[in-house]
């Protein structure tokens, strides 16, 4: 029984050491996460970048079309509506464009 108690005690010591190493790893990872969040600016910066992906005309859909003549991007329905109404001017800068100047954009 004495040998078994010694083995159990040794197993407890090893488990405590493993827990201490795991706790140290968790603390290190939390520090890295906090550092990354401070560099990225948190959720406000992410929200700002997401709004940059929205169409300037409707502000509700993601940009999917590029007007090649000027480089401005809009959602497909807004570009299609612009072409169908024969307005054919970029809503952002007013430069004229045709259907052949519209290219798809993939994010």
pLDDT value for 25: 92
pLDDT value for 40: 59
Length of the chain counted residue by residue: 107
Site of tokens 């612009």: 82
pLDDT exceeding 70 applies to what percent of the chain? 93
Q: What is the pLDDT of residues 35-51, one digit of tens each?
A: 876 665 567 777 888 88
Q: What is the pLDDT of residues 82-96, one digit of tens each?
A: 888 888 889 899 899
Question: 10 Å Cβ neighbour count for 34?
Answer: 10
Cα Rg for the chain, rounded, in angstroms? 29
pTM more than 0.85: no
């Amino acid at each position: 029984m004495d040998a078994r108690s010694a083995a159990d005690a040794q197993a407890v010591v090893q488990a405590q050491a493993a827990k201490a190493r795991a706790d140290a790893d968790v603390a290190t990872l939390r520090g890295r996460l906090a550092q990354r969040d401070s560099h990225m600016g948190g959720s406000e910066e992410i929200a700002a970048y997401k709004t940059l992906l929205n169409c300037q005309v409707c502000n509700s859909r993601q940009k999917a079309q590029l007007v090649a003549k000027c480089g401005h991007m809009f959602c497909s329905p807004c570009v299609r509506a612009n072409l169908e109404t024969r307005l054919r001017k970029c809503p952002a800068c007013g430069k004229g464009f045709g259907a052949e100047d519209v290219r798809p954009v993939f994010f």
